[in-house]
Amino acid sequence: MTNPWQEATVLDVRHETPNAKTFRLRLPDPRTHLAGQYYVVRLTAPDGYRAQRSYSVASMPGGGEIDLTVELFPEGEVSGFLHEVVAPGDTLEVRGPIGGFFAWAGDTPILGVAGGSGVVPLMSMLRHARAIGHPERMRLIVSARRPVDLYYADEVVGPETTVVYTRQAPPGDPRPVGRLTAEDLTPLLAGPPRTVFVCGTPGFCDTATDLLIGLGVETEKIRVERFGPT
């Protein structure tokens, strides 16, 4: 197997939102990922029962450590175990990196459109753009319900990033609360053509894609990855 399973060590666990945690893992066999790729996490019970889920890498490419941000889903087998049991020092069976369609090498202009936890792979892209000294290559718009629900709140904000709140906005936010609109996207599409990476729930992705097509973005320039419980 060219991409075998590894026993990764959990180095750190931190809260991102009330329902999401980031797990920093050290890989015994480091593999450089592209921004936007993911790893599979596999759990094995004492009776041999196995469950696995795919999680996008939030950290930028490079090094022997990766960050996986996991949203807790009601009755989620894997997310529940990760949130309620896993602690620093534990090991997790992982395989990756995987995926090529929803991946970015950092050399072309892009726009990221994220809903909620869909910002995870796009955060890897944003970190990569900043790290290589070309933050202008990426624009990012993130939709969040409330400020407390914004992933990576201390880092995601910046000149490249627009945040829209659908239910509650922070004091002084000039934009009225509400869902993503064509007016939010229009200024981000100005300038050279950009490949657009859309990530979020199926409903969010469908809405965002319809808005982009309505604004004249060619379908072959739109890449979509849908998140949600399995």
Amino acid 217: pLDDT: 97
- Does pLDDT of 230 surpass 80? no
In CATH, what class is 6-98?
A: mainly beta
Is a pLDDT exceeding 70 seen at residue 48? yes
| Residue closest to 160 by CA, chosen among 130, 185, 181 | 130
* Residue 7 pLDDT level (bands cut at 50, 70, 90): very high
Least confident of 38-42, 76-80, 104-108: 76-80
| Sequence ranges of the domains in the chain | 6-98, 110-226
CATH of domain 110-226: 3.40.50.80
Same CATH fold assignment for domains 6-98 and 110-226: no
d(C-alpha 57, C-alpha 158), whole Å: 21
- For residue 3, what pLDDT band results from cuts at 50, 70 and 90? confident
pLDDT confidence tier of residue 2, bands split at 50, 70 and 90: confident
What is the full DSSP assignment across 136-175?
A: GGEEEEEEESSGGG-TTHHHH-STTEEEEESS---TT-SS
Query: Which residue shows structure tokens 């229009």?
Result: 186
DSSP state of 148: G
